[in-house]
Amino acid sequence: MAEKPVDRRVRKTRAVLRQGLVRLMAEKSIQDITVTELCAACDVNRGTFYLHYTDVFELLHSVEDELLAEFERVLDSLTPHTVFSGETPSPAMCRMLELLADNADLCRVLLCQNGDMAFVERVKGVVRRRVLDEWAAQFFERGAHAAVYHYAYEFVVSGCIGMLQYWMERDMPLSAREMAAMMESFIARGVTGL
């Protein structure tokens, strides 16, 4: 694990391109963004772009990777006890929502209208790997059919992401804590149990 220090110029160029992409994505769909256009908007030479990325999509993925890594760090900082404590809303859910709020512009662009479906799948996958086994155990205790908890998981995760999209598209009118509480309520009792 050699810590390779990255040249300051490289860091700067990549940062400029990343934030330039996010800025453009707020205006237009990713497939309409050309390398030429992005470089002009960022005042970076087009050739320089190709020193770092093969195309706009690879750049997008690097942006996604960065956010996803931060997301995973939050998940890793949560002990199982933190997650399954009786507290409502759970600190785990709250911290994840705060992360979204702190990266609102980027998350909106990736998760909402004209977002990246593949990225949404990746997010689901990250959560799945950490939650599903725990879930499975709880379901089996209740004697539920084996396949059911997979569908239950998809329902819950997709449902939460849908709520987040609605929330972000309206510039987050509720606090992270309020959102977390609502989500956990829906997960546990469905929507008729209000």
Partner DNA sequence: TCTTTTATTCGACGCACTGTTGATTATTTT
Partner DNA sequence: AAAATAATCAACAGTGCGTCGAATAAAAGA
Give the residue among 61, 72, 70 at the shortest CA–CA distance from 17.
61
Q: Applying CB under 8 A, which of residues 5, 47, 86, 190 lies at the interface with a copy of itself?
A: 190
Piece of the chain touching a copy of itself by CB under 8 A; list 6-14, 64-72, 98-106, 143-151: 143-151
By CB under 7 A, what part of segment 18-57 binds DNA?
34-37, 43-48, 50-52, 54-56
Question: At its nearest, how many Å lie between a copy of itself and the CB of residue 85?
Answer: 16
Per the CB < 8 A criterion, the answer to whether 179 and 186 are in contact is no
State the number of binding residues for DNA (CB under 7 A).
23
The amino acid present at 157, given as its one-letter code, is V
* Residues between 82 and 141 that touch a copy of itself (CB under 8 A): 112-118, 120-121, 124, 139
Indicate which single residue of 59, 75, 107, 160 sits in contact with a copy of itself (rule: CB under 8 A): 160
Q: For residues 60 and 94, which CB has a smaller minimum distance to DNA in the complex?
A: 60
Quick one: CA torsion of 106, 113, 179, 105, rounded to 10 degrees?
A: 20
> Contact, 52 vs 13, CB < 8 A?
yes
The neighbour count for residue 63, using CB atoms within 10 Å, is 22
Instruction: Find out whether the peptide bond into 173 is cis, omega within 30 degrees of 0.
Output: no
Site string for a copy of itself, 63-82 (x = CB under 8 A): --------------------
The DSSP code sequence of 163-190 is: HHHHHHHTT--S-HHHHHHHHHHHHHH-
By the rule CB under 7 A, 79 interacts with DNA: no
The angle at the Cα of 154, spanning 150 to 85, to the nearest 5 degrees, equals: 85
CB atoms within 10 A of CB 116: 18
Tell me if 53 contacts a copy of itself by CB under 8 A: no
Q: Does 21 bind a copy of itself (CB under 8 A)?
A: no
Tokens encoding 81: 């006890």
Q: Which residues bind a copy of itself (CB under 8 A)?
A: 30-31, 57, 112-118, 120-121, 124, 139, 142, 144, 147-148, 150-163, 165-167, 173-174, 182-183, 186-194
- Enumerate binding residues for DNA (CB under 7 A): 5, 7-10, 12-13, 34-37, 43-48, 50-52, 54-56
